[in-house]
Amino acid sequence: MEGHIRGWFTGNASDYNDFVKALLLGDVDAMNEYMNRVADATFSSFDTGRHPSRTEPERFYHGFVLGLMVELANRYVITSNRESGFGRYDVMLEPRKPGMDAFVIEFKVYHPKRDKTLEDTVKAALAQIEEKQYAASLEAKGISADKIRRYAFAFDGKKVLIG
């Protein structure tokens, strides 16, 4: 498994850096293009799962995206699965310097019984961020709501949609 994960990042330094840049710039199209290209080229259906009742696919993508964020540790405090507001967010990036944007990220696996499309899954994840007030801990630290970006990553096997 360690070699598999290392392989995701080896040899694609510019692509990897492009993903991080796209995240910081808010370029959702570039983030989607990267994630789908990597998922299609390197992930196995055993990695991403196809069983809606299982949490493994979400954990897999959660770990992968968290790994992408490691490069930002000098600029952001990166936390995962912590309580904020009325629930537990998936990933939060809290800026180390004032004035920088913060990020709240929620991962959600597509369930055909619950959502008609992957877009519906993105909308549900974004609604969850708001309903559960995941940004509350950032706002309590003085970060204004307009400086907090909210992203939803929706997954259906090797298909990814970020919104």
Q: What's the pLDDT score for residue 10?
A: 47
pLDDT confidence bin for 45, thresholds 50/70/90:
low
3-state secondary structure of 46: helix
Name the CA radius of gyration of the chain, rounded. 15
Domain boundaries, the chain: 2-162
pLDDT at position 75: 94
Q: Is 156 left (phi over 0), alpha (psi -120 to 50) or beta?
A: beta
Instruction: List the one residue out of 25, 16, 27, 64 whose CA is nearest residue 43.
Output: 64
Percent of all residues in the chain with a pLDDT value above 70, rounded to a whole number: 82
pLDDT at 63: 85
Give me the pLDDT at residue 44, please. 65
Position 103, amino acid: F
Q: Give the C-alpha separation, 44 to 77, whole Å.
A: 31
- Residue range 52-105, pLDDT digits in tens: 444 566 788 888 888 888 889 999 999 998 889 888 999 999 999 999 999 999
